[in-house]
Amino acid sequence: MSTATTSLGRPAERLSKIKPSPIRQIFDKAAALDAAGEKVFHFEIGRPDFDTPDVVKAATAASLDRGEVHYGPNAGTPDLRAAIAEYLRSRRNTEYDPDTEVIVTIGANEAVFLALMAFCGPGDEVIVPVPAWAHYQSCVRLAGATPVPVPLNAADNFSLDLDAIAAAVTERTRMVIICTPNNPTGGVASHSEIEKLAQILEPTDALLMSDEIYADLVYEDIEHVSPAAIGNLRRRTLVIGGFAKAFAMDGWRLGWLAGPRELITPALRVRQYTTVCPPTFLQPGAATALRAARGDAEDMRREFEDRRRAGLKILSAVAGISVSKPDGAFYFYVTYPPALAEPAEELAMRLLETERVAVVPGTAFDPEGGTHAIRISYACNIDDLTEGLKRIARTLTPTQPEGAKQ
C-alpha cells in the first residue's frame, strides 16, 4: 500500500499566523560564537545574571526532603497563593482572595496564555501598544483572536498614547494589554495615564491585561502603579506577575495571574486541561522568595540601578541616537535615524560579527516601527556592560571622512 504523503508535518491553521522569531538568527549566531570560545557581550538576554537567593533554594530543598513531589491543587498551593496575595497587598496596594483570585502559573508566560485562551477567540480584537514583548501578539493569534498594534511615539518617550488607544477601541475589543514597567522601553505608566485608560475602558466590556513582571525594578523616585489599584479598573484587570526578574528565578518557571473571581475561574479551567498544576516542590521556595528574600531582591535592584546609570552615561554621549527613559525593567531601547546606520536586523548582525555584541533588533517588538531601534539588556556585569556599550557607541559614531582627519 503506497500512501506517500508530504503533509505529515502540516501544522495546524492557527500556526500559519505565527512567524518564527526574527531574532533567532542573532541568538543562533551568538550561541555559535560562545561555543567556539569567543567572548560575546550578551545584551540580548532578558534575564538577571544573579543567582537565586540561598534562602529560596533552601526552602525548595526542604520541600523535596519532605517528599512533596506529587500533584498539587490546580491553582497552586494555598500557602504560595496566600504569599502572593500578601505581597500584592503590601507592594501594589491591591486585595485578592488567595482562594479564588490567584493562580500560580508556569512563569508569567503561562499567565498571559491562560488569560488570552480564557477570554479571547475568533472575532475578538486585542489592543497591544507597540513596541511590545512579542509574545503578546503571538499568544493573541494562538487564541484565534486578532492583535491590534497601536504604535507609540519615540518622540513621546513611548508613553501610552491614550488618544490612539481610544481610537483603536471598537465593539470587538476584548482586551487591552499594557506592560509597566515596559519591555523593551523601560517606560513606567503614570497614575494619570492609567486613570485616563480607566475612563476610556469604562463604557466598554474590554478587559485589561496588566503585565507587571518588572514592577519591583523601578529606579530613582519612580513608583510603579498597578492599574488594579486605580479607579474602577480592578473588576476588568488581569494582573500578570512573576519571580523571574526581581528574584532571579527565571529558570524556576513560576509566576501568577491575579484578578477578580469572575475572571480567574475561566482561566483556571484552561489550566485544568493544559499544565494541571505548577511543580509542587518549587512552590515553598517561591513563597519564601516573597516573604523572606525581598532584601536580596532590593540588593539586585540597586545593582541594576548602578548599571543603568553607568550605561546611560555612555549612551547619552553618542550623538544622534535617542534612548527611551528607562524608569524601570533592565533595558535601554535605542532609536537612531536611518542616516546613522543600516536597518536594525542588519545592524544587530554587524554588531555581533564585528564587535561581538549581541542585541535585539527593534523589529522583534514592532516589525514596522522598530526598523531603526535596538534593545540592550543591562542584566549583565558592569564591566561587560561598559565595554559592550563602548563598542555599540563606536559603531554608531560616524567615522570622519579622510580629508577631515588631522
**Count of residues touching ligand PLP (by CB under 6 A):** 13
Among 23, 41, 44, 46, binds ligand PLP (CB under 6 A): 46
Of the pair 138, 183, the CB lying nearest ligand PLP is at 183
Angstrom distances, CA of residue 292 to CA of 48, 53, 90: 19, 10, 14
- Among 34, 41, 130, which Cα is nearest to 377's? 41
d(CA 364, CA 176): 20
Of the pair 162, 179, the CB lying nearest ligand PLP is at 179
| Segments of 173-254 assigned E as strands | 173-179, 207-211, 237-242
Angstrom distances, CA of residue 3 to CA of 11, 12, 63, 244: 19, 21, 53, 48
Counting contacts by CB under 6 A, is residue 255 touching ligand PLP? Answer: yes
- Residue 282, all three cell numbers: 518549587
Whether the CB-CB separation of 188 and 218 falls below 8 Å is answered with yes
**Side chain identity at residue 337, one-letter code:** P
Among 44, 101, 124, 211, binds ligand PLP (CB under 6 A): 211
Part of the chain binding ligand PLP (CB under 6 A), chosen from 94-102, 107-115, 215-223, 269-277: 107-115
Helical pair 283-292 and 78-92, crossing angle rounded to 10 deg: 30
d(CA 165, CA 232): 18
Part of the chain binding ligand PLP (CB under 6 A), chosen from 93-101, 103-111, 166-174, 297-305: 103-111
Among 250, 296, 327, 384, binds ligand PLP (CB under 6 A): 250
The cell 571622512 sits on which residue? 401
Of the pair 21, 397, the CB lying nearest ligand PLP is at 21
Counting contacts by CB under 6 A, is residue 242 touching ligand PLP? Answer: yes
Counting contacts by CB under 6 A, is residue 53 touching ligand PLP? Answer: no
Smallest separation, CB 292 to ligand PLP (Å)? 20
Smallest separation, CB 341 to ligand PLP (Å)? 25
Among 41, 96, 113, 133, binds ligand PLP (CB under 6 A): 133
Of the pair 227, 341, the CB lying nearest ligand PLP is at 227
- Residue 114, all three cell numbers: 491562560
| Count helices and strands in the chain by DSSP H and E runs | 12, 13
Phi and psi angles of residue 186, each rounded to the nearest 5 degrees, phi first: 80, 0
Smallest separation, CB 136 to ligand PLP (Å)? 8
Of the pair 283, 341, the CB lying nearest ligand PLP is at 283
Part of the chain binding ligand PLP (CB under 6 A), chosen from 7-15, 28-36, 104-112, 139-147: 104-112
Of the pair 289, 341, the CB lying nearest ligand PLP is at 289
End-to-end CA distance of the chain: 80
Among 109, 138, 210, 280, binds ligand PLP (CB under 6 A): 109
- Residue 319, all three cell numbers: 550623538
**Side chain identity at residue 103, one-letter code:** I
**Side chain identity at residue 212, one-letter code:** E
Q: Given the rule CB under 6 A, which residues bind ligand PLP?
A: 46, 107-109, 133, 179, 183, 211, 213, 242, 244, 250, 255
